[in-house]
Amino acid sequence: MTDPTPPRPGSRAGRKASGAARRRTASTGARIREEGAPRVRLPRRLAPRKSPTQDRARETVEAILEAAVDLFSSRGYARTSTNHIARRAGVSVGSLYQYFPNKDAVLTALLARHLAAVESAIHACIPPLRDPAVPLRDGIRRLLELLREVHEADPRLSRAIEQQVGQMPVVPEGLAGYKRDHVATLAEILSTRPDVRPGNHALMAVLLAAVTETVSVVLVHAAPARFGRDEMLDEAVEALCRFVERPPGRLS
Amino acid sequence: MTDPTPPRPGSRAGRKASGAARRRTASTGARIREEGAPRVRLPRRLAPRKSPTQDRARETVEAILEAAVDLFSSRGYARTSTNHIARRAGVSVGSLYQYFPNKDAVLTALLARHLAAVESAIHACIPPLRDPAVPLRDGIRRLLELLREVHEADPRLSRAIEQQVGQMPVVPEGLAGYKRDHVATLAEILSTRPDVRPGNHALMAVLLAAVTETVSVVLVHAAPARFGRDEMLDEAVEALCRFVERPPGRLS
DNA sequence: CGACGAAGCGAGCGATCGCTCGTATCTTGA
DNA sequence: TCAAGATACGAGCGATCGCTCGCTTCGTCG
């Protein structure tokens, strides 16, 4: 009942006894730039406390984040304590607090990764969407494919994250504001392309963005068994295209 | 710092001292059937502990729910304790636990009301949607209007509720299952109407339902200042209609 | 009026939470 | 080789949480 929660089989051996400490390959540190973290100014409350410099520490941070993914998505954010996370990561709470000032910061780190993935998916699709030579449909399909990929990476996590964001008392401006930017870009694209129907493009962009997000989530979470992956994608593309496309005027 | 949280000005005088207890109109209890509660079998964990029989008690329950609305939507579910709720309601924790077995039950009661509202909105729109004589567009518009109304009743609450539902460890089948029913109904309607384009109507129904929900939320929450209420509604109707309507074959 | 059930009260229990800090161990570089 | 910083550890603090329970007060009715 007291939730012994043995470290998950896969990650990090459960060296309970203090003696059997970590012995890792001490390969010279690969100075990889912290991947997947968008350049955003985070408030002290949520910013990482200090960056790991040794490989050992990087592993610790990674294990913590993996454990957090696991627990947030299975038990929910509120029901997951920092002690849970640490234990599951095969790490002490103290170590967790070396790198994250508080629980929200752990979620924020996860959120940052997720948003970075979403952002890069969107960014990859802006050029084709801008290009009037590329059919609108193709750009939209590509975007949905990429977003689906992001959500598929860890469906439970992206669900948990997106739900929790709304609950966070402070959603860092930098992380939330990216949406506004993209909606603006989208509005501009809609106004430019000749194959988009006339109308209030700013408004259309707001709706389109919201619907796109929803649809990409549904693509992953709605009974993937009942409908084929591609079938669903086709229908989703259809929905978005029909909304914005200028009707050909001829042909059905 | 310990959050004295005086009872909100509007509701229920703050009779702190035990002496100045409640003096309410003891009018013979209006036996109104608990309004807004769908006939759903709730697990003991979430079911109300006992129903209030006196008016005084009904007031208490009402005050508790109002306070919960207020706190859940402003501080979030996780950050709201039962003591908070009771204090804000001008009631003791003990009284709260007379009617709700635990915190989740309070949320569930709120959820039940919300879903009842959504459900009745949907139900009201099914006949016109079924009727081929009524333009599809009219039925959809009416549905969005009604859903918008529901969310407008208390935007913060419906937001908080819908976010929390996903986090709840046990979403009662009866409360969650209503969606499946409506999607099925929707699929059937799509298959029947001659003005709907051919295709996989079951799949279209899934997407349509998800998009409808999103859109109705956006209608209320997305900067209501930047766009006119009706303008947004028009555009949303457009989005949904274009998705399912059979193109006229002539005319733009 | 008196008695009884319904309703209300709130101190406080046990559990858990987020988080700290003194100490032990590891890694690095000169 | 070894000092010094980086990393890790985990018992446990203070706060808060959900919730109980012994008791008082209110409303009703014979």
**Per-residue model confidence as pLDDT tens digits over B135-185:** 999 999 999 999 999 999 888 888 888 878 777 766 767 777 888 899 999
How many CA atoms lie within 13 Å of B211's alpha carbon, on the beta-carbon side? 29
Q: Which of B72, B201, B211 to mutate to test the interface with A (most CBs of A within 10 A)?
A: B211
Which of B36, B41, B202 has its CA nearest to residue B119? B36
Q: How far from chain centre, in Å, is Cα A242?
A: 27
Contact yes or no for A214 and B211 at CB 8 A: yes
Residue environment code for B196-218, b if the CB has 16+ CB neighbours within 10 A, otherwise e:
bbeebbbbbbbbbbbbbbbbbbb
Residue type, B173: E
In a domain, A141, yes or no: yes
In this predicted structure, which of A173-177, B190-194, B229-233 has the lowest mean pLDDT? Answer: A173-177
Paired with B16 in beta bridges are: none
Q: Are residues B134 and B181 in the same domain?
A: yes
What does the pLDDT average to over A94-120? 93
Whole-angstrom Cα distance, residue A100 to residue A79?
18
Whole-angstrom Cα distance, residue B130 to residue A92?
60
Q: Are residues B165 and B221 in the same domain?
A: yes
State the residue for tokens 């929660």: A5
What does the pLDDT average to over B54-69? 94
Q: Are residues B236 and B144 in the same domain?
A: yes
- Classified as helix, coil or strand, A245 is strand
Whole-angstrom Cα distance, residue A100 to residue A51?
10
Do A119 and A178 touch, CB atoms closer than 8 A?
Answer: yes
Q: Looking at B79, B104, B129, which one is the last position of a domain? A: B104
Q: Looking at B65, B86, B104, which one is the last position of a domain? A: B104
Which of B69, B226, B224 has its CA nearest to residue B148? B224
In a domain, A80, yes or no: no
Question: C-alpha distances in angstroms, B245 versus B38, B143, B201, B241?
Answer: 33, 16, 12, 5
Q: Are residues B71 and B190 in the same domain?
A: no
pLDDT: is B225 or B233 the higher one? B233
Contact yes or no for B242 and A242 at CB 8 A: yes
Which of B243, B248, B200, B238 has its CA nearest to residue A251? B248
**Percent of chain A with pLDDT strictly greater than 90:** 58
What tens digit of pLDDT does each residue of A20-62 get? Answer: 233 232 332 233 234 444 456 677 788 888 888 889 999 999 9
Residue B84 belongs to a domain with what CATH number?
A: 1.10.10.60
State the residue for tokens 């009866």: B174
Per-residue CB contacts under 7 A with strand C, chain A residues 104-163: none
Contact yes or no for B249 and A249 at CB 8 A: no
Mean per-residue pLDDT over chain B, rounded: 81
What confidence score (pLDDT) does residue A157 get?
A: 83
Structure token digits, residue A215:
């649809």
| B224, closest residue in chain A (CA to CA) | A203
Question: C-alpha distances in angstroms, A29 versus A25, A58, A89?
Answer: 10, 10, 21
Residue A200 belongs to a domain with what CATH number?
A: 1.10.357
Contact yes or no for A252 and B247 at CB 8 A: yes
Structure token digits, residue A210:
């919201």
What tens digit of pLDDT does each residue of B29-56 get? Answer: 233 334 444 456 677 788 887 778 888 9
Encode A12-49 in three state secondary structure. CCCCCCCCCCCCCCCCCCCCCCCCCCCCCCCCCCCCCC
Which strand D nucleotides have any atom less than 7 A from protein CB atoms?
A: 6-12, 16-22, 24-28
Whole-angstrom Cα distance, residue A150 to residue A212?
13
Q: Which of residues 192-221 of B touch A (CB under 8 A)?
A: 199-200, 202-204, 206-207, 210-211, 213-215, 218
Contact yes or no for A210 and B222 at CB 8 A: yes
Do A65 and A109 touch, CB atoms closer than 8 A?
Answer: yes
Do A36 and A58 touch, CB atoms closer than 8 A?
Answer: no
pLDDT: is B73 or A36 the higher one? B73
In a domain, B30, yes or no: no
**For chain B, what is the domain count?**
2
What confidence score (pLDDT) does residue A128 get?
A: 97
What residue spans of chain A are helical by DSSP H?
55-75, 82-89, 93-99, 103-130, 136-153, 155-167, 173-192, 201-221, 229-244
In a domain, B28, yes or no: no
In a domain, B228, yes or no: yes
Do B232 and A236 touch, CB atoms closer than 8 A?
Answer: no
Q: Is a pLDDT exceeding 50 seen at residue B250?
A: no
Structure token digits, residue B101:
């077995």
Q: Is a pLDDT exceeding 50 seen at residue B22?
A: no
Q: Are residues B212 and B130 in the same domain?
A: yes
B contacts of A235 (beta carbons < 8 Å) = 199-200, 203-204, 207
Contact yes or no for A231 and B79 at CB 8 A: no
Q: Is a pLDDT exceeding 60 seen at residue A232?
A: yes
In a domain, B21, yes or no: no
Mean per-residue pLDDT over chain A, rounded: 81
What does the pLDDT average to over B208-214? 95
| B219, closest residue in chain A (CA to CA) | A207
In a domain, A21, yes or no: no
- Classified as helix, coil or strand, A171 is coil
Rg (CA), chain A: 22
Contact yes or no for A204 and B235 at CB 8 A: yes
Q: Are residues B96 and B217 in the same domain?
A: no
Specify which residue's alpha carbon is closest to the C1' of nucleotide C21.
Answer: A94
Residue environment code for A231-243, b if the CB has 16+ CB neighbours within 10 A, otherwise e:
ebbbbbbbbbbbb
What does the pLDDT average to over A85-104? 96
Q: Which of A103, A183, A214, A231 to mutate to test the interface with B (most CBs of B within 10 A)?
A: A214
What confidence score (pLDDT) does residue A169 get?
A: 66
**Percent of chain B with pLDDT strictly greater than 90:** 57
Give the confidence band of A249 by pLDDT, cuts at 50, 70, 90: low
- Classified as helix, coil or strand, B80 is coil
Q: Are residues B93 and B145 in the same domain?
A: no
Q: Is a pLDDT exceeding 80 seen at residue B64?
A: yes
CB-count burial class (<10 Å; 0-12, 13-18, 19+) for A44: exposed
What confidence score (pLDDT) does residue A160 get?
A: 81
What confidence score (pLDDT) does residue A141 get?
A: 98
Give the confidence band of B219 by pLDDT, cuts at 50, 70, 90: very high
- Classified as helix, coil or strand, B239 is helix
Per-residue CB contacts under 7 A with strand C, chain A residues 62-91: 79-84
Paired with B196 in beta bridges are: B245
Residues contacting residue B149 through CB under 8 Å, at least 6 positions apart: B121
pLDDT: is A173 or B205 the higher one? B205
What confidence score (pLDDT) does residue A179 get?
A: 86
B44 CA, C6 C1': Å apart? 22
What confidence score (pLDDT) does residue B52 get?
A: 80
**Percent of chain A with pLDDT strictly greater than 70:** 80
What tens digit of pLDDT does each residue of B101-131 get? Answer: 999 999 999 999 999 999 999 999 999 999 9
What confidence score (pLDDT) does residue B139 get?
A: 97
Q: Are residues B135 and B231 in the same domain?
A: yes
Tell me phi and psi for residue B52, to 5 degrees.
Answer: -70, 135
Q: How many C-beta atoms lie closer than 10 Å to residue B159's C-beta?
A: 18
Structure token digits, residue B220:
């209320």
What confidence score (pLDDT) does residue B89 get?
A: 96
Q: How many residues does chain B have?
A: 252
Rg (CA), chain B: 22
Do B165 and B111 touch, CB atoms closer than 8 A?
Answer: yes
* Vertex A207 angle, CA A203 and A213, to 5°: 145
Q: Are residues B178 and B94 in the same domain?
A: no
| A79, closest residue in chain B (CA to CA) | B78
Residue type, A16: K
Whole-angstrom Cα distance, residue A82 to residue B2?
24
In a domain, B16, yes or no: no
What confidence score (pLDDT) does residue B62 get?
A: 95
B226 to chain A, any CB pair closer than 8 A? The answer is yes
Q: Are residues B202 and B121 in the same domain?
A: yes
Q: Tell me which residue range forms the domain holding B88.
A: 55-104
Q: Is a pLDDT exceeding 80 seen at residue B1?
A: no
Q: Are residues B145 and B233 in the same domain?
A: yes
Q: Are residues B133 and B233 in the same domain?
A: yes
